[in-house]
C-alpha cells in the first residue's frame, strides 16, 4: 500500500461537474479541498483480495449477531433501541426485508485489517467512490497494468432490480437542510434506481405526508417504497413514526438499526473474541479501569464526532479531527482499543469497503492529518497492480 503522486488531469473539475459531483471542492481544514486530484493509493491484487474477503467475512459475522439478537429478543440496554422500533426491526428481519448497501471503515497497514465500524444505514461518499474515482483511473496517465476495485455502479443497478419489482415507484428523501454531499449521494442513488427500470421521485423528509391511511408526497401520491438518507434513530423521534406500517418498504430496512449502531462492535467482540479483524470493544463504564490506549466513541454519531482518546484511565481529550455535538452524548459510548496505523507522507488513510447486498463491491479512501476522519477529510482515488 503506497501513496502516489500524479499529474492533475486536464479539465478534471469539469469531469466532476458532469457527473453531479459538484461538492468536490468543499473546503478542508488544511486550506485545500475535499477531492485530492493527483493523489492515489496503490495496492497489490493480493491486498485487494484480502480486503474484499475481510469485508465479506465481517458482513456475515454481523448478520449472525443480528440473527441471534432478534431470535432471542434480546437488545442490550447499551444499544438504546426505542421500544417502538423493535416490532419493525423484528418484522423486517423475519420477512427478509432486503438491504441495498453499506460501508465498512477499516484501519489497514498493508497487512493487518481492523474493523473500525459499519456505516450500515446512511453511508455517504458513494458517488465519488463509484463514479468519480473510476473516471480518474480511466483518464490518468502513467499507471501500467492498472485496475481498480470498483464494481459499485453496476452492482447497485443490479441490486435495485433484485430488491424491487420492475417499474416500482421509489421515493428518495433526505433532510431539507442537509448539505450538498447528502443530496448529491441521494441523486446518484436515484439515477441507479432509474437505470434499473424503476420510477423515481425526490422529496425532503420534512415533506413526508400522511393522509390518514398512507404516507404521501406533495402530489398526494402514495409512498410505497422509500429510500431515506435519514437515520432510523432520528425517524423514531419524529411524530410521523407512529404511522409506520410493516407493509411499507423502507431502504435501508429497520433491522439495519442494529448494524449501524456501534454497540454491534461490543456484540461482535463477545461472539468472536480475539478475532484478527476485530478490535476489542466494550460498553463504556466510568467505574471500570481501562489500561492502555482506547478510543471512546458515541454509539450513534457521524463524521467523527465526540471521539476521545483514553490512556490508562486518563481522558486525553478529543481525538484530533473530532468535534463535539451535544446531541450525540445522550445515547452512550463504547470503548474500542486503539489501533496504530502508519502515516503516508503525513496523512492517515481510512479505507471504506462498500457492500452492495451481501457482497463487497469496491473501496474508497479518506485521508487526513488527523486521527479521526471527519466531514472535511480528503477523498483519494486508488488502484491496484498485479
User: What mean pLDDT is predicted for residues 1-18?
Assistant: 96
Cis peptide before 252 (omega within 30 of 0): yes
173-184 pLDDT, tens digit each:
999 999 899 999
pLDDT band at 330 (very low <50, low <70, confident <90, very high): confident
Rg of the chain over Cα atoms, rounded to whole angstroms, equals 21
The full set of domain ranges for the chain reads 2-261+342-385, 281-337
Helix, strand counts (H, E) of the chain: 10, 19
On average, the pLDDT of the chain sits at: 94
Look at 8-12, 73-77, 298-302 and tell me which has the smallest mean pLDDT. Answer: 298-302
pLDDT per residue as tens digits for the range 249-279:
999 999 999 999 999 999 999 999 999 999 9
Per-residue model confidence (pLDDT) at position 229: 97
What pLDDT shows up at residue 386? Answer: 83
* Residue 242: Cβ within 10 Å count: 9
Percent of the chain with pLDDT over 70: 100
The CA-to-CA distance between both ends of the chain, in Å, stands at 13
pLDDT digits over 208-225, tens only?
999 999 999 999 999 999
Cβ-contact 203, 229 below 8 angstroms: no
Q: Specify the pLDDT at position 112.
A: 97
Task: Please report how many Cα atoms fall inside a 13 Å half-sphere around the Cα of residue 282, on the Cβ side.
Answer: 10
Amino acid at each position: 500500500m503506497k501513496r502516489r503522486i500524479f499529474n492533475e488531469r486536464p479539465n478534471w473539475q469539469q469531469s466532476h461537474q458532469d457527473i453531479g459531483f459538484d461538492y468536490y471542492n468543499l473546503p478542508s481544514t488544511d486550506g485545500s479541498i475535499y477531492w485530492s486530484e493527483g493523489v492515489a493509493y496503490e495496492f497489490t491484487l493480493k491486498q485487494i483480495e484480502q480486503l474484499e474477503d475481510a469485508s465479506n467475512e465481517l458482513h456475515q459475522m454481523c448478520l449472525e449477531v443480528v440473527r441471534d439478537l432478534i431470535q432471542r429478543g434480546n437488545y442490550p440496554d447499551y444499544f438504546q433501541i426505542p421500544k417502538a422500533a423493535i416490532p419493525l426491526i423484528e418484522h423486517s428481519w423475519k420477512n427478509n426485508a432486503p438491504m441495498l448497501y453499506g460501508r465498512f471503515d477499516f484501519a489497514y497497514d498493508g497487512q493487518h485489517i481492523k474493523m473500525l465500524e459499519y456505516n450500515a444505514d446512511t453511508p455517504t461518499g458513494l458517488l465519488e467512490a463509484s463514479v468519480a474515482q473510476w473516471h480518474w483511473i480511466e483518464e490518468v496517465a502513467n499507471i501500467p497494468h492498472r485496475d481498480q476495485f470498483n464494481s459499485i455502479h453496476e452492482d447497485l443497478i443490479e441490486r435495485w432490480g433484485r430488491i424491487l419489482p420492475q417499474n416500482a415507484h421509489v421515493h428518495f428523501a433526505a433532510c431539507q437542510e442537509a448539505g450538498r454531499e447528502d443530496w448529491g449521494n441521494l441523486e446518484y442513488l436515484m439515477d441507479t434506481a432509474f437505470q434499473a427500470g424503476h420510477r423515481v421521485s425526490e422529496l425532503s423528509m420534512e415533506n413526508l405526508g400522511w393522509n390518514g391511511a398512507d404516507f404521501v408526497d406533495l402530489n398526494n401520491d402514495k409512498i410505497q417504497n422509500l429510500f431515506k438518507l435519514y437515520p432510523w434513530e432520528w425517524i423514531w423521534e419524529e411524530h410521523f413514526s407512529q404511522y409506520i406500517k410493516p407493509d411499507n418498504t423502507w431502504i435501508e430496512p429497520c433491522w439495519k438499526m442494529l448494524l449501524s449502531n456501534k454497540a454491534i462492535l461490543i456484540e461482535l467482540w463477545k461472539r468472536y473474541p480475539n478475532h484478527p479483524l476485530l478490535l476489542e470493544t466494550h460498553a463504556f463504564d466510568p467505574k471500570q479501569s481501562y489500561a492502555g490506549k482506547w478510543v471512546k466513541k458515541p454509539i450513534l454519531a457521524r463524521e467523527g464526532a465526540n471521539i476521545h482518546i483514553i490512556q490508562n484511565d486518563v481522558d486525553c481529550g478529543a481525538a484530533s479531527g473530532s468535534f463535539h455535538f451535544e446531541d450525540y452524548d445522550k445515547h452512550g459510548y463504547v470503548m474500542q482499543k486503539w489501533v496504530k496505523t502508519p502515516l503516508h507522507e503525513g496523512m492517515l488513510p481510512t479505507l471504506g469497503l462498500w457492500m452492495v447486498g451481501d457482497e463487497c463491491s469496491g473501496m474508497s479512501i479518506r485521508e487526513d492529518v488527523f486521527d479521526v476522519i471527519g466531514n472535511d477529510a480528503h477523498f483519494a482515488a486508488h488502484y491496484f497492480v498485479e
